[in-house]
Structure 1
Amino acid sequence: MRTRTRIQSVMLFMMALVLSLSTLLIPAPKAHAAELGDVLYQAHVESLGWQPYVWNGEVAGTEGRSLRLEALKVRVTGLPDVHVKYRAHVEGTGWQNWVQDGQVAGTVGNSQRLEALEIKLENAPPGYHIEYRAHIENLGWQGWVRDGDIAGTTGNSLRLEAIQIRLVR
């Protein structure tokens, strides 16, 4: 009987430990996100594949490694009925069709670079905007743009290497 009780105690302890450690591994939204909502995004990077999701202005992609972004997924949470739409300008293809809410913009498995992005919100409350900026081959970080403006370049054959996206009000 004692052995069984001890095993149950150890198992309960281990379950509590796993649960508490899992909260450390899942990034918490920024403090302002509770009132603004969150923007989550994931980049597919040359030779690395899909990176983990990042949010609210964090860097997706790489800096200083000369690796191209090949695809991107973006979604907004915490704002009911708000959708994020985006499209990519892809090497050799040009502008793709608009996608939304976590769908893939760009290509996976084709070794084609993203060269520019446009991102916008649909059904956003008044005063809400989505801002983003791109890190570009040989140029570094561009300034922030918003609400469907172009981040990156077209016609210059320059790869996007990283992106930051944030919601603002």
Structure 2
Amino acid sequence: MKSVMASLATAVFAISGCLTGATMANATQANGIRYTEIGTGAAPVSVKADLARALANSAITNEICYSVHISNVGWSQSYCNGETVGDYHNQIEAIVMAVSPDFGEVQYRAHVENIGWQGWVSNGAVAGTQGQALRMEAMQAELYNTAEPNRTISYRVYLPNQGAWDPVEHNGQVAGTTGLGWPITALWVYVS
């Protein structure tokens, strides 16, 4: 437990350092997770701290954790390895993801209402938008720099316009829709 708490304290320090101007190299060396601040903006420190806490408290190695920004709600708590996040009613507007430090890295992107596909972001950066009331309509995710190159990242989104879950997608495939204006209201991500 003491080791987990020390790791968590280091992770929170490193995350805070990223947001206050510390170099990415220092953050990577401090906790093994590089939080790349590109795309539509930085995730709040509380969201990154929650991701670090979820990964540190997990009994599963090679795990992925994620949090979403939900319309009319704000940022969710972190969920990990296949847990469903979202309420099936309010649109998801953004997502952040991180994998266990000993595993590798994750990159992902979002297709957003009135914007289209955004650029790829990684390791705790925001894909989507915050505070603009723009729905996420599709997503893609990939693993890279992994210790085990045969690993698969799988993800699935719930589309209320269909009243059902979209098929499970893997390794960079598109989950959701483009050009239909359909929101995502729940999702899960899993690494195997």
Letter in 2 for 1:143: P
Q: CA deviation at 1:62?
A: 1.3
2:157 aligned with 1:134, yes or no? yes
How many residue pairs match? The answer is: 136
2:142 aligned with 1:120, yes or no? yes
Deviations 1:95-123 (A, max 9, x none): 00100001000000100000000000012
Partner of 2:72: 47
Over the aligned positions, Cα root-mean-square deviation in angstroms equals 1.4
2:68 aligned with 1:57, yes or no? no
**TM-score, scaled to structure 2:** 0.67
Q: CA deviation at 1:138?
A: 1.8
Letter in 2 for 1:147: N
Distance 1:51 1:126 in 2: 30
The 5 A counterparts of 1:69-88 are 69-80=92-103, 82-88=104-110
Greater strand percent: which structure? Answer: 1
**% identical equivalent positions:** 35
- Secondary structure, counterpart of 2:185 in structure 1: strand
Distance 1:40 1:116 in 2: 19
The question of whether the paired residues in 2 share the 8 Å contact of 1:38 and 1:78 is answered with: no
Question: Which of structure 1's runs of 4+ aligned residues deviate more than 6 A?
Answer: none
Letter in 2 for 1:74: M
Larger Rg: 1
Q: CA deviation at 1:143?
A: 1.6
Please list every run of 5 or more consecutive structure 1 residues that lacks an aligned counterpart in the other structure: 1-25
Distance 2:75 2:100 in 1: 20
Partner of 1:4: none
Distance 2:175 2:102 in 1: 24
Partner of 1:152: 176
Q: CA deviation at 1:61?
A: 1.2
- Secondary structure, counterpart of 1:160 in structure 2: coil
The 5 A counterparts of 1:14-25 are none
Please list every run of 5 or more consecutive structure 2 residues that lacks an aligned counterpart in the other structure: 1-52
Distance 1:79 1:138 in 2: 39
Deviations 1:12-53 (A, max 9, x none): xxxxxxxxxxxxxx7653x6x23xx11000010010000100
Partner of 1:95: 117
Distance 2:70 2:178 in 1: 19
